[in-house]
Chains A and B, each alone.
Chain A
Amino acid sequence: MKAFLTILKREIRAYFNGPMAWMVIAGFLFLIGQFFLAILNAYVRNYLMTQESPFLKGESPDLNDILSQGVFQNMVVFLIFITPLLTMRLFTEERTHKTDELLFTSPVPTLSIVLGKFFAAVFVVAVMVGGTLYVPPLLGQISPIDMRPVAAGYGGVMLLAMAFTSIGLFSSSITESQIVAALLSFVGLLTLLVLGWLAGVFEGSALQPIIEYAAYDRHFNNLAKGIVDTRDVIYFLSLTALFLFATNRMLGTSQWRS
Chain B
Amino acid sequence: MIEVSHLDRYFGDYLAVRDVSFSVAEGQVMGFLGPNGAGKTTTMRCLTGFLPPTSGAVRIDGFDVVENPHEIKKRIGYLPETPPLYGDMLVEDYLRFVADLKSVDGARRNGLVEHAMALCGLSDVKGRLIRNLSKGYRQRVGIAQAIVHEPKVVILDEPTSGLDPNQVIEVRSVISDLAKDRTVILSTHILSEVEKTCQLVTIINEGRIVASDTVTRLLQGADVRRLRLSFAKDAPGAAEEILAVTGVKSASFAGDSRKELQVETELDPDPRAEIARFAVEKGYGLLEFRAASESLESIFRRLTADEPQAEGSAAAGGAPEAPASAAEPAAPEGMN
Contacts and interface: CB of A to CB of B under 8 A. Distances in A.
Interface in B1-25: 11-12
Contact of B103 (A3, A10, A98, A103): A3
B125 interface: no
A6 B100 contact: yes
Nearest to A94: B84
A18 B87 CA distance: 11
A53 interface: no
Given A258-B11, A258-B12, A107 B102 contact: yes
B82 A98 contact: yes
Contacts of A6: 97, 100-101
A103 B88 contact: no
Nearest to A16: B88
A105 B103 contact: no
Interface residues of B, number: 31
Interface stretch (B72-80, B168-176, B229-237, B307-315): B72-80
Given A2-B100, A258-B11, A105 B73 contact: yes
Interface in A9-36: 10, 13-14, 17-18
B115 to A, nearest CB: 19
Contacts, number: 75
Interface in A64-106: 97-106
A106 B82 contact: no
A257 interface: yes
B243 interface: no
Contacts of B87: 97
Interface in B70-124: 70-71, 73-74, 76, 78, 80-89, 97-98, 100-103
Contact of A108 (B78, B83, B101): B101
A254 interface: yes
A18 B98 CA distance: 21
B86 A99 contact: yes
A102 B98 contact: yes
Contacts of A102: 78, 80, 84, 98, 101, 145
B84 A254 contact: no
Nearest to A103: B101
Nearest to A101: B80
Contacts of B71: 107
B101 A3 contact: yes
Nearest to B69: A107
A13 B97 CA distance: 12
A106 B102 contact: yes
A13 B145 CA distance: 20
A6 B104 CA distance: 12
A211 B194 CA distance: 65
B86 A97 contact: yes
Contacts of A106: 73, 98, 101-102
B188 interface: no
Interface stretch (B45-53, B261-269, B272-280, B317-325): B45-53
Contacts of A17: 88
Contacts of B73: 105-108
Nearest to B82: A98
Contacts of A13: 88-89
A98 B78 CA distance: 13
A104 B103 contact: no
Contacts of A101: 45, 48, 50, 78, 80, 82, 84
Given A97-B86, A108-B101, 20 more contacts: A2-B100, A3-B103, A6-B97, A6-B101, A97-B85, A101-B48, A101-B78, A101-B80, A102-B80, A102-B101, A103-B84, A104-B49, A105-B78, A106-B98, A106-B102, A107-B70, A107-B71, A107-B73, A107-B74, A108-B73
Which 5 residue pairs across A and B have the least CB separation, nearest first?
A: A102-B84, A107-B73, A98-B82, A6-B100, A101-B80
Interface of B: 11-12, 45, 48-52, 70-71, 73-74, 76, 78, 80-89, 97-98, 100-103, 145
5 contacts: A3-B103, A97-B86, A99-B86, A101-B84, A102-B145
